[in-house]
Structure 1
Amino acid sequence: MKRKSDEDSRQDMNSENTNLFQGDKQEAALPGQQSGEVEVGRPHLSTQKPESHGVNAEGTASEEDLNAGAPDELVEPEQPLPRVSLADLPDWLRARAQEIGWNELRDVQAMTIPYVRARRDLMVQAKTGSGKTGAYLLPILEALDPALAACQALVLVPTRELALQVHTEATRLAGGAGIRAVAVYGGVGYGAQLDALRRGAHIVVGTPGRLLDHLKRGSLQLDDVRYLILDEADRMLSMGFYPDMRELRKSLPSERASYMFSATFPANVLRLAREFLRDPGFLSLSRDAVYVASTEHVYYEVPALDKDRILIRLIEIENPSAAIIFCNTKQRVNYVATVLQRFGYDADQLTADLSQSEREGVLRRLREGRLRFLVATDLAGRGIDISHLSHVFQYEVPEDPEAYIHRAGRTGRSGGAGTVISLVSYAELADFNRIMRQYGIPAEKRPLPSEEDVMAIVEQRVTALLEAKLRDRDPLQLERMRRFVGLARRLAEAEEELDVIAMLIDDYYQETLHKVPVPEGGAAPKASAPRQKQGPSAPKSVRRRRRSRGEGRSH
């Protein structure tokens, strides 16, 4: 493998793509907002340069940080509120928390609760298991009016599993306080959900599609909503829920407090925040780099012969808006493009054999959103500048370490965000690790998703899309459709006819592979200085180191 000096490599890295790393060199800004819109141009604002996330000023990681991991860094609103403890909760709520085993607040809870109490909109970077559910449930429970049998808090979640989990926690914490919660989600009948809503639910937790169904049926009213929670916002977008979320927003009262929880804050999540939140602060207690409009580096150890299947699984899970898949040879490019096309994806290939006019035609389709996946060699992929590319997949580890930088530089353009996913065979692992060390890239190793993992996501995504399609039918279309209810029932009851139903669902799913609804806004926003605002400035964020605290229970 060809190697370059460390100094040459760093110069190439800085000139090619200065936002490759999850550090502090670049902050994404959205275009100027109108009055009343959220100011998310610098939600993670820092008037002082933060300390490194295991990456030094030259863009390389120290040996100590590579081995031990960087210390925790706290990012909080510029006008921070003091943290609280379990003793600061009302007596009844503190007693309930202790009864179910919460002996102390987790860090994210202690720091988020004051902002919910103050009704200050907030974006919180929090991963699963960090205690984020309690961070919003505890202050909401103490603020709700049990005498008002109406939805006062609405929690949007991406999956039925998370809806049930949040509902369970809310019910356990509410105890005998007279506060009722209900979970609503697709893929099941409406009966039990309708009964629960009729009894009066103070907290409604659900997936956007089913919530919209109940809203249109008249079984759910949102006039009294005081708190809106967007939990796992990044996953809701990847599941394709954005159109339903946008429709729900039309029925929400303007006088509400809104909170967004997400593991990452790429450009599309920031655009979502712009629609739902007003002048939010930003809070993060992540041990990892603060993933705000930066490039995330991920890799999977994959058996060489399984790379094609794993690539399809990852694409289905990630649901990228557009992506480039890099291979080392023209033959591999042709093979991967064919696999994607056979699966049903919009895919084409770009190699050095194409004429200039053919190359321009392929890139034009990609730029205009008429092509979703481009499979390319390193030589053919040089110089591609498509601002809306959300992902780069590396089907093979590059033979030249510098090529990794050029590949990764195709995403996260114009101050936006991106994800670089590498499929690394066991034979390639040593070379891949060498590249990561050479450039100081903090790549995250993830476990391979199983077919069951993929199908769980696909089933919920398809269910949401089908229910949305049904919702949009007019009375005449519904009457025409219902002629086939009897046939549908007979097919479902006959074991040998299940393949017919599966075929129809698969045909519909293939149609959706070409459509990835995301928050509007076109290309990723360009970085800019913060705008001057009239009146009080929006809450900004500052960074500071904090000592690691005991994590206690996962709640």
Structure 2
Amino acid sequence: MEKLEKFKKLGLSDNALKALRKKGFEEPTPIQQKTIPILLRDERDIVGQAQTGTGKTAAFGLPIIERIKEKSKIIQVIILVPTRELAIQISEEINSLKGNKRLHIIPVYGGQAIELQLRSLKKGVDVVVGTPGRVLDHIRRKTMNLQDISYLVLDEADEMLNMGFIDEVEKIMKSTNPEKRTMLFSATMPKEILRIAKKYMGKYEFVAVEKETLTVNLTDQIYFEVATSDKFDALCRIIDIEHEFYGLVFCRTKVDVDKIAKHLVDRGYDADALHGDISQYQRELILNKFKKKRTNILVATDVAARGIDIVELSHVINYSLPQDPESYVHRIGRTGRAGKEGTAITFVTPEEYRRLLFIKRIAKTEIRKEKLPRIKDIINTKKARIKTELKNIIKSETYNEYIKMAQELLKEHESENVLAALLKHSYQDELNEKSYSEIKDFSIDKKGTTRLFVALGKSDDII
């Protein structure tokens, strides 16, 4: 536990330290150092100014886990967030931090079948991470009771303000236990946020950490417009068009990480998965393999990739668009190191286009649009790679045991036919254009809507 000594000094239990060790944490971030002792040792509310990517979730999540009861059958904590992606991300993070403590944590957001949420709520939930609209919907339906909560967390309060959720937030706050403890976290502190703090919070401690400068260096940044259903095929094209691909692929959830890594392995790629459910021992083995290039693709969540430092990465792929500009910069900052230019590639669906614009604006960076590699170009790249490999074998003269067989074949057949047959035998599957699926071509306009391009003509009774 030596590496976790600083966490231990904050007052965390052995259960919390074990959970942190499993996740690969070594020492607390500034916001964690400032927030955790306050939440563990006294009853003050907290207003924290910190951007995403600074460890806010663990800063409030760890002390909350320490202080709430197991098997209470009532909602003890409500965490409000601006987006469903963040609701999923934070609920997963808190689940991974709870260790052996028996707590039921669920995300609640619009777009998910409400029946699933109702079933979970009826069984009894300790922590709800939700978007304001869906939480308020449950309150109105009387399917969510916040009268007995011990903690209310407003995360990314300025984003909730920007997205027009502040009225819903206030209505929810009025529906909660007045004796609760409140934590408000925001990257910026506009007047409206401070008004809410003053109106609804008791004596609070203001905690701030220095804002990072968002800079992007030595990285070529590209985005591709891709439908969700085509993302995996797009990923395969990007890997195959490169002569040497050595990269990190970021997904939003552990389920996605496992699924994508498995699909890659099934397709013959050297890939591994890394997320919060993987033990520290396995994590070290996986990272050691990746650093030694025994695997060339690592599929990971943001949390699991924390602290990874690999110098020669050629690519970072945002399979899922990051939640915020800070996460984007942290992700792509892993490529283009040591004076080399790496490539950062982001897949963008129509629903995510506005978030891409937000990331570009806040990170002050240019991310240019490109078209996915064509199947024909990928096959040509593979042919060039095969030629290079064969030339290297010829130069190495490590083929003596095959000379006799070659001479026998050449006595019976033309040399071009022998070589063509060998190439077919060795590379037929790899050079088969049909191994790639067609990807729908569409363009997202500046309003974030989608224009599909469909091949139709006279025989379709359209013209």
TM-score (norm 2): 0.45
TM-score (norm 1): 0.38
Q: Which has the greater radius of gyration?
A: 2
Structure of higher RCO (CA pairs closer than 8 Å, 6+ residues apart): 1
